[in-house]
A and B are shown apart, each in its own frame.
Chain A
Amino acid sequence: MDNLCKLGFLTTEILLEGRNIHEAYGRTKTGIVLSNANASLDADIAYFETVKNIPSPAQFVYTLPNIVIGEISIRHGFKGENAFFVSEEFDAGLLEFYVSDLFKRKSIDCCIAGWVDFLGESYRAVLYLVENRSAARSLPWTTEHINKIYELANGKING
């Protein structure tokens, strides 16, 4: 796995700790909607280094940002709706719209959504577990809450 996939994979492990999402909601009803700023540039640079010698298929496959969705899907057996967006900055409005819309259509009952970015020495992951049933300490999926949690996770505001 490349750095971006490791980051998304491990963050999802923490997010889903103690949960059995695919049994609770069904494999096809769990979606993944992710975004970042640098797409797969970290892996692109690593792959292009190999091109100068012998191009590596094992590295080339990671030169697409949605591969992290594939890795999380394989690990947890999620087969539902998925999408990868690139934006300069974290876009809570986009996530709110896209994920809420999937719930409204009843395409999914549960979703892993958020930001997974990796380039060189810097990385950041903020993931949300969105469900159609409320749980203890859960908040409504609104742009305001999404932003607040993102800022908390990044130390921009004090918790």
Chain B
Amino acid sequence: MNPVYIIAENIVSPLASTALYNFISLKEGRSGIAQHNIPQFSPEPFFASLFPEENFSNNNTYTKFEQLLIASVSDALSLANIDPSDKRTGLIISTTKGNISLLETNKQDEALVKRMSLSASAKLMAEHFKIADKPLIVSHACISGLVALITGMRMIQSGGYDNVIVTGADIITRFILSGFQSFHAISNRACKPFDAHRTGINLGEAAATIILSSQKPKGENAILLSGGAVSNDANHISGPSRTGEELYQAIQQSMAEAGVITDDIGFISAHGTATMYNDEMEAKAINLAGLQEVPLNSLKGYYGHTLGAAGLVEVVACVLSLKENVVLPTPGFDIPGTSKPVNVNRELRQGQYTACLKTASGFGGCNAAVVLKKN
């Protein structure tokens, strides 16, 4: 199958607006999570990683969600020498809730339904960037970003595309926050992934973009997206598997597709949402895969859970970690807190890393895994 290279990447987050500046912030241990008191979102103060409102212009053309996508794709395109208008360039957009905030502030009518639809945003993106091909939209809960990347990888492997721009974003408003609060899933402090005293997630806002290509980029250290798989727990719509077997199935398939064995995996970027159930399930899956000794991190303590952007944000961090041969720490983690041990990374670690594994899981019992490799 054709190799698939990652030729450009971006993160737009409350920490910074490029991948490199985000990565510098992560290495310095800076987190976007803070306590917010926004009565129109929540009657109680809450911890989250949010953009300052003044970052966005109040225009009639693009919503905040779309402005984020544009900022992220623009920066990624500036780093890649590709022609968006070529028929063999694809665009994939990943999001869980897109423009749901419009439901909170507008009258429900046909025009609103049309404007809110993800296809409307996708069309605006395609027009803005003069993309000739019809954009794809993935909306698959918290694994959306990885499903979008896997789809892009498969489009190039099949030979039908030369380049695929994979982007994703989600913003946090009353709709999403109230929902997670109703589940009692929101932590009342900065989240603590894999920790014994973890009490739930923080939500976060971000956009991220990865450009995939069949062409090897110039220079050393090209990073390949070389395997990916998706599975379903078939167990519960809002609670993860009790055994972790199904995430393990996705890990195993993605590693087999990438042609790597456990010894090749230098580090794991886990989903690590800091809920009791997610982290426990992930630890079990990682043990089933025999990867429990491999350094593992969760970036939720930096960005919160950025939903449809999360998979992309975290894969961008994986790309830069592989290039710089470092493994990021896991902010919030102190005391191991899963029934099966995993090697949660606490400090910025240096080594020689040739491949890494990224995992994600979400509502609906979905799981995904991808493997990145150095050329």
Contact indicator A74/B365 (Cβ below 8 Å): yes
Contact indicator A88/B117 (Cβ below 8 Å): yes
Contact indicator A84/B140 (Cβ below 8 Å): yes
Asked whether A153 is an interface residue with its Cβ less than 8 Å from the other chain, the reply is no
Tell me which residues across on chain A come within 8 A of B10, comparing CB atoms: none
Q: Which A residues from 64 to 99 make CB contacts under 8 A with B? A: 64-67, 69-71, 73-74, 76-88, 91, 94, 97-98
Please measure, in the bound complex, the distance between the C-alpha atom of A54 and the C-alpha atom of B362, giving whole angstroms: 24
Q: Which A residues from 51 to 67 make CB contacts under 8 A with B? A: 51, 54-57, 60-61, 63-67
Asked whether B79 is an interface residue with its Cβ less than 8 Å from the other chain, the reply is no
Asked whether A127 is an interface residue with its Cβ less than 8 Å from the other chain, the reply is no
Contact indicator A56/B182 (Cβ below 8 Å): yes
Residue of B nearest to A89 (CB): B119
Contact indicator B139/A82 (Cβ below 8 Å): no
Q: Which B residues from 128 to 169 make CB contacts under 8 A with A? A: 134, 136-141, 147, 151, 154-155, 158, 160
Contact indicator A38/B234 (Cβ below 8 Å): no
Tell me which residues across on chain B come within 8 A of A3, comparing CB atoms: none
What total of A-B pairs shows CB separation below 8 Å? 149
Contact indicator A83/B151 (Cβ below 8 Å): yes
Tell me which residues across on chain A come within 8 A of B160, comparing CB atoms: 97
Contact indicator B232/A57 (Cβ below 8 Å): no
Residue of B nearest to A65 (CB): B139
Across the interface, A64 reaches (CB within 8 A) one of B117, B158, B236, B363, namely B363
Contact indicator A84/B158 (Cβ below 8 Å): no
Across the interface, B230 reaches (CB within 8 A) one of A38, A44, A83, namely A83
Please measure, in the bound complex, the distance between the C-alpha atom of A95 and the C-alpha atom of B246, giving whole angstroms: 24
* Least distance between A23 CB and chain B CB atoms (Å): 14
Tally A residues with Cβ within 8 Å of B. Answer: 50
Across the interface, B232 reaches (CB within 8 A) one of A51, A82, A85, A119, namely A82
Contact with B along A11-24 (1 / 0, CB 8 A): 00000000000000
Asked whether A47 is an interface residue with its Cβ less than 8 Å from the other chain, the reply is yes
Q: A79-B234, A88-B117 are in contact. Are A44 and B175 (CB under 8 A)?
A: yes
Residue of B nearest to A64 (CB): B141
Asked whether A32 is an interface residue with its Cβ less than 8 Å from the other chain, the reply is yes
Q: Which B residues from 57 to 112 make CB contacts under 8 A with A? A: 96-98, 100, 103-104, 108
Contact indicator B154/A79 (Cβ below 8 Å): no
Contact indicator A28/B249 (Cβ below 8 Å): yes
Tell me which residues across on chain B come within 8 A of A80, comparing CB atoms: 231-232
Task: Pull 29 A–B residue pairs with CB atoms less than 8 Å apart, ordered by A.
Answer: A27-B234, A28-B231, A37-B117, A39-B118, A41-B116, A44-B100, A55-B181, A57-B183, A61-B183, A61-B238, A64-B139, A65-B140, A67-B364, A70-B365, A73-B233, A73-B365, A77-B234, A78-B234, A79-B233, A79-B249, A82-B140, A83-B147, A84-B138, A85-B136, A85-B139, A88-B119, A88-B123, A97-B158, A101-B158
